[in-house]
């Protein structure tokens, strides 16, 4: 696997959540740096062998904004 993409969102209760596209991997962290470490740990747990790890991990940050028109 060359690349694994995670969709990252701010958690309403604080911190961030990350879900991998195409793999059953979900994790969270209080800061972006902690989230990156948690993603590394989750990848390590998900794949049986380090040779299966992706070469690149892409973080796609999604931020929802809501505003009233009137």
Does any domain span residue 69? Answer: no
**Who wins on pLDDT, 56 or 50?**
56
Angle among Cα 61, 56, 12 to the nearest 5 degrees reads 25
Provide the greatest CA pair distance for the chain: 55
The pTM (predicted TM-score) of the whole model is 0.87
Does any domain span residue 44? Answer: yes
How much is the mean pLDDT over the chain? Answer: 95
Enclosing domain of residue 20: 3-62
* Domain count within the chain: 1
Does any domain span residue 46? Answer: yes
Does any domain span residue 20? Answer: yes
Across 43-70, average pLDDT = 93
Does any domain span residue 68? Answer: no
What contacts 24+ positions apart, CB below 8 Å, involve 46-54? 52/1, 53/1, 54/1, 54/2, 54/3, 54/4
Q: Quick one: pLDDT at residue 64?
A: 85
Cα-flanking dihedrals φ and ψ of residue 61, to 5°?
A: -80, 125
């Amino acid at each position: 696997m060359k690349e694994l993409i995670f969709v990252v969102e701010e958690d309403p209760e604080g911190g961030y959540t990350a879900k991998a596209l195409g793999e059953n991997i979900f994790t969270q962290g209080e800061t972006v740096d902690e989230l990156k470490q948690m993603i590394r740990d989750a990848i390590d747990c998900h794949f049986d062998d380090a040779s299966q790890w992706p070469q690149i991990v892409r973080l796609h940050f999604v931020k929802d904004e809501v505003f009233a028109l009137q």
